[in-house]
């Protein structure tokens, strides 16, 4: 069951991940990012190998994965895509980058391919500035992926720092969710029991009067008050207590 993913102001948002890979490392990273963000958030996660440029269109957010091959080159699949992008319009599409490179073997061109692909999408009208990542913890000489002392996307080095990959992905995924203003509305069967019961009560109480059923994640003011929302002793709003169980967000 797929629920609508909404961004700021409750606007529906379609998010997909596309990657190219020569060795399989980028695919592994893309899959872990998809799993960390959750299957209800990322609509699609595909290798571009058998796709056309048109398959990347129609989304609000593109998570794009690319490894730098040899001395600053694009991997094979993205290389074939690169010039074809000139024929496409990505105006308004948000792009979020993640790249793989070898900072010790190729310190002068570390993550160059990510920078090249990022610039290409910006030239086709895409909106950047999301998912930028600090450079402090890396040891390299030069990179086309650096913007104002930050990488234009998540920097992964599976050759030398694979033990850091999981932690970097978790931190980055939390970051881009904040930056995109993503509201993840989970289906009822995945909500904690206490939340399911509250939603069911709210649907019966309010829906019976209005002829509608309240979905998980929606709390009319009257229901919020009965669930404990209100104001504290200083007159400030007090939100409804939410479950913090991992894997559930609203």
Structure tokens at 169: 């992905």
According to DSSP, the residues that pair with 69 across neighbouring strands are 73
Who has greater pLDDT, 3 or 180?
A: 180
Q: What is the pLDDT of residue 245?
A: 36
Q: What is the mean pLDDT of residues 20-36?
A: 95
Q: What is the pLDDT of residue 54?
A: 95
What is the pTM for the complete model shown? 0.72
Q: What is the pLDDT of residue 193?
A: 56
Q: What is the pLDDT of residue 40?
A: 87
Q: Is the pLDDT of residue 26 over 50?
A: yes
Domain spans in the chain, listed from the N-terminal domain onward: 5-184, 188-238
Q: What is the pLDDT of residue 33?
A: 97
Who has greater pLDDT, 201 or 92?
A: 92
Q: What is the pLDDT of residue 183?
A: 55
Q: What is the pLDDT of residue 182?
A: 79
Q: What is the CATH number of domain 5-184?
A: 3.40.50.360
Q: Is the pLDDT of residue 237 over 50?
A: no
Q: What is the pLDDT of residue 218?
A: 35
Phi-psi region of 181 (alpha: psi -120 to 50; beta: other; left: phi over 0): left
Q: What is the pLDDT of residue 187?
A: 52
Who has greater pLDDT, 52 or 231?
A: 52
d(CA 189, CA 99): 35
Q: What is the pLDDT of residues 149-200, one digit of tens each?
A: 999 999 999 999 999 999 999 999 999 999 999 754 455 455 445 444 544 5
Contact 80, 48 (CB under 8 A): no
Q: What is the pLDDT of residue 39?
A: 82
Who has greater pLDDT, 2 or 249?
A: 2
DSSP state of 49: G
Top mean pLDDT of 99-103, 201-205, 226-230, 246-250 is at 99-103
Instruction: Find the largest Cα–Cα distance for the chain.
Output: 67
What average pLDDT does the structure give for the chain? Answer: 79
Q: What is the pLDDT of residues 47-87, one digit of tens each?
A: 999 899 999 999 999 999 999 998 999 999 999 999 999 99
Contact 99, 113 (CB under 8 A): yes
Q: What is the pLDDT of residue 236?
A: 44
Q: Is the pLDDT of residue 208 over 70?
A: no
d(CA 173, CA 180): 11
How far CA 225 is from CA of 89, 132, 231, 238, in Å, comes to 47, 39, 10, 10
């Amino acid at each position: 069951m797929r629920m609508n993913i909404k961004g700021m102001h409750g606007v529906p948002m379609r998010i997909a991940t596309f990657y190219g890979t020569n060795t399989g490392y980028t695919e592994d990273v893309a899959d872990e990012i998809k799993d960390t963000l959750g299957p209800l958030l990322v609509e699609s996660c595909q290798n571009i190998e058998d796709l056309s440029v048109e398959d990347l269109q129609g989304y609000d957010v593109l998570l794009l994965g690319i490894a730098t091959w040899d001395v600053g080159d694009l991997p094979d699949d993205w290389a074939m895509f690169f010039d074809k992008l000139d024929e496409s319009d990505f105006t308004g599409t948000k792009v979020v980058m993640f790249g793989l490179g070898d900072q010790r073997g190729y310190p002068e061109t570390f993550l160059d391919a990510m920078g090249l692909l990022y610039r290409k999408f910006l030239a086709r009208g895409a909106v950047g500035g999301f998912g930028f990542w600090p450079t402090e913890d890396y040891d390299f000489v030069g990179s086309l992926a650096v913007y104002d002392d930050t990488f234009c996307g998540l920097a992964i080095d599976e050759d030398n720092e694979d033990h850091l990959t999981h932690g970097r992905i978790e931190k980055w995924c939390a970051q881009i969710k904040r930056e995109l203003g993503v509201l993840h509305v989970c289906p009822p069967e995945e909500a904690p029991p206490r939340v399911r019961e509250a939603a069911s009560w709210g649907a019966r109480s309010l829906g019976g009067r209005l002829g509608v059923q309240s979905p998980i994640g929606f709390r009319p003011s009257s229901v919020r008050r009965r669930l404990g929302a209100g104001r504290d002793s200083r007159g400030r709003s007090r939100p409804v207590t939410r479950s913090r169980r991992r894997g559930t967000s609203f």
